[in-house]
Amino acid sequence: MQLLGVRAVMAFVTAPLEAAAWWSSLTQAPVQQAGAFAWLELPGGTELGFHPADDERNPLNGNPVVYWAVPDLESARAALLAAGAVHHRGPLQIAQGRRISQLKDPVGIIVGLDGP
């Protein structure tokens, strides 16, 4: 499986737009928003995202989910599942030609994949 670099870091918060605005004031990166989700595109291409917390899937102030850019989401997902990870969420289509998926590794860390 090929990891291309960190694509996104996702934080789970009660007020995504407020969190994004605070980070925007520090980084000067403009806030982008789709529904309840807000994010910044930082220099170098890393996305800093803020998603509404969800007690079932991603609790408030839980560990951020790091999304690895991959060249093929399905093959990367299959490799992680074969290595002992378990399905957590997705795959979800989030933009044209871009999908994400979350898996939980054998010690409980949620891993994000981001790719075509």
Tens-digit pLDDT profile for residues 30-67: 999 999 999 999 988 999 999 998 888 787 767 789 99
Other CB atoms within 10 Å distance of the CB of residue 41? 15
Domain definitions of the chain by residue range: 6-115
* 14 secondary structure, DSSP code: S
Torsion (CA) 97, 90, 33, 70 in degrees, nearest 10: -50
- 6-115 has which CATH code? 3.10.180.10
What contacts 24+ positions apart, CB below 8 Å, involve 84-87? Answer: 85/111
* pLDDT attached to residue 13: 87
- What are the φ and ψ backbone dihedral angles of 26, each rounded to 5 degrees? -85, -35
Q: Give the tens place of pLDDT for each residue, 78-87.
A: 999 999 999 9
- What is the value of pTM for the model shown? 0.74
What percent of the chain has a predicted confidence (pLDDT) above 70? 98
